[in-house]
Amino acid sequence: MPEGAVLLLGLLVIAAAAVAVVRRVDVRLALLLAALALGALAGDVTPVFRTFLTTLCSEQFVVPLCTAMGFAQVMRHSECDKHLVHLLIRPLRSVRALLIPGAVVVGWAVNVSVISQASTAVAVGTVLVPLLRATRLTPTTVGAALCLGTSIGGELLNPGAPELNTVAGRVGVPATECVSRVLPLLLVQLAVAVAVFWPLCLRAEARATGAPAEEPPPADPFRIDPYKALVPLIPLTLLMLVGPPFNVLHVPEKWLVDSAQQTASRSIYGARLVGASMLVGTALAALAAPRTAGSVAKVFFEGAGYAFAQIISLIVAATCFAKGIDQLQLDEPIRRVIGGSPELVWPVAGGLTLAFAALCGSGMAATQGLYAFYVSDSMGTELMLRVGAVVAVTAAAGRTMSPVAAVTLICADMTDTRPLDIARRVAVPLLVASCVTVAVAWWRGG
């Protein structure tokens, strides 16, 4: 078959996968079938099979993600996450004008320690939704504030985040090295998104009710246990003390990596360090709730299993899809554009990643599937990390504005509104914020 015809068929396969995702076919199934079709067009599907098997058991993803989700499940089981949410929300009750931006910031902050957007939305929503509803805010505003806060990218400050592990694995550094590059861009993203989102919501509320209600939020009778409120932050604190930005503690490599694995010790050490910190947090959570300690192990592994089924599986599918694209060299146009004008890496990486994440509803799939197309070893470690930061932040933005994202569906269900209404409300703030963030990254990287 002529090369041009093969490339055309490859593009049609990708388009068919996109259509399937839009029509609510499972993202993993669509990407895996597309990967096999692309491999068949290239004349060899075995690289796709090898990628599937290799990624399925990759310690780089399995250890940090499964332990992080296990920890998140234990937080819910011990109700430590509820104490943290109440601690963060309580100051907002006395300042009604700050409820909308405050709700976003609270969701973002909790997502730092609970890396799953869906789990964060449930933990925050159970406290935040009744509070906001009591002030007569419309369901769309409540759902959009919850979705924006819990999905805009707080997890990107946690080394256990799958997007960071994707970038770290490609660059060959510990995931903790990615956080310092993400932080300034994420703060820009959050500030601009909230600055646009807040007045949009106030205008929508004025149109819906004539004027926002003025009665103060109800008092919070919940009794906060300071120890339980701090437990969700312990793994993140440990990782910051061991790695960037503080680097004040040293964990000997031999504690986590045996001598037989020294050839790959750097990546294994980083993944296991995240896992070890999550296990410490899990043990402290068991001490915080002695009555539930007997079932902590069961709950932890249920969370780990959820991570494997919902996150690792998506990483596997996206990696196979990227491999199929690589086999047909369909990524070459992107590489040529960036190679000819290196400064275009910022808008290309940000724009394409955001669009793909909005389409499939997964920031992880967008990061895993596309990041490798934008970078090369000739860029150097620092530039690759900065591009990775842009990809991770815009992937989170695309996921948040997707009506098919799991977090959007959960927020819509908790607030009795439509996912599309939530996606519309957050789309403009996220698009504006992403443009500003990419411009800042371009300026800093250029």
pLDDT score of 245 more than 90: no
Measuring CA to CA, which residue among 83, 80, 242 is closest to residue 159? 242
User: Most confidently modeled of 169-173, 201-205, 421-425?
Assistant: 421-425
Buried/exposed 114-136: b ≥16 CB within 10 Å, e otherwise: bbbbbbbbbbbbebbbebbeebe
Report pLDDT digits (tens) over 100-129.
Answer: 999 999 999 999 988 889 889 988 998 899
pLDDT above 60 (res 149)? yes
| pLDDT score of 304 | 94
55: Cα separation from own chain's centroid: 19
Residue 127 near residue 76, CB atoms below 8 Å: no
Nearby residues of 283 by Cβ (< 8 Å), 6 or more positions away:
none
Instruction: Using pLDDT thresholds of 50, 70 and 90, give the confidence band for residue 5.
Output: confident
Q: What is the mean pLDDT of residues 74-85?
A: 92
Residue 182: per-residue pLDDT: 96
**Average pLDDT value for residue range 260-277:** 75
Indicate if the alpha-carbon torsion angle 52, 57, 61, 66 is positive or negative: positive
Separation CA 73–CA 114 (nearest Å): 9
Query: In the predicted model, what is the mean pLDDT of residues 378-387?
Result: 94
Other beta carbons within 10 Å of 313: 17
The region that residue 19 occupies, defined by phi over 0 for left and psi between -120 and 50 for alpha, beta otherwise, is alpha
User: How wide is the angle at C-alpha 178 spanned by C-alphas 174 and 182, nearest 5°?
Assistant: 165
The angle, 0 to 180 degrees and rounded to 10, between the axes of the packed helices 345-360 and 332-340 is 150
Q: For residue 433, is pLDDT > 90?
A: yes
CA-CA-CA-CA torsion sign (337, 340, 346, 349): positive
Residue 215 pLDDT exceeds 80: no
Confidence of residue 2 (pLDDT cuts 50, 70, 90): confident
Residue environment code for 41-52, b if the CB has 16+ CB neighbours within 10 A, otherwise e: bbeebebbeebb
Q: What is residue 94's predicted lDDT score, i.e. its pLDDT?
A: 75
The per-residue pLDDT for 314 is: 86
Checking if the pLDDT of 85 tops 70, the result is yes
Percent of the chain with pLDDT over 70: 95
Residue pointed to by tokens 């769309």: 140
Instruction: Count the Cβ atoms, other than its own, within 10 Å of residue 245.
Output: 11
pLDDT tens digits along 17-40: 988 987 888 889 999 999 999 999
Mean pLDDT estimate for the chain? 89
What's the whole-number mean pLDDT along residues 83-95?
Answer: 85
The pTM for the full model equals: 0.87
| Residue that wins the pLDDT comparison between 430 and 210 | 430
- Report the amino acid identity of residue 325: I
DSSP per-residue codes, 189-222: HHHHHHHHHHHHHHHHHHHHHSS---SPPPP---
Mean pLDDT of the region 10-18: 91
Domain ranges of the chain: 60-445
Confidence class for position 43, pLDDT limits 50, 70, 90: very high
Query: Residue 89 belongs to what H/E stretch?
Result: helix 80-89
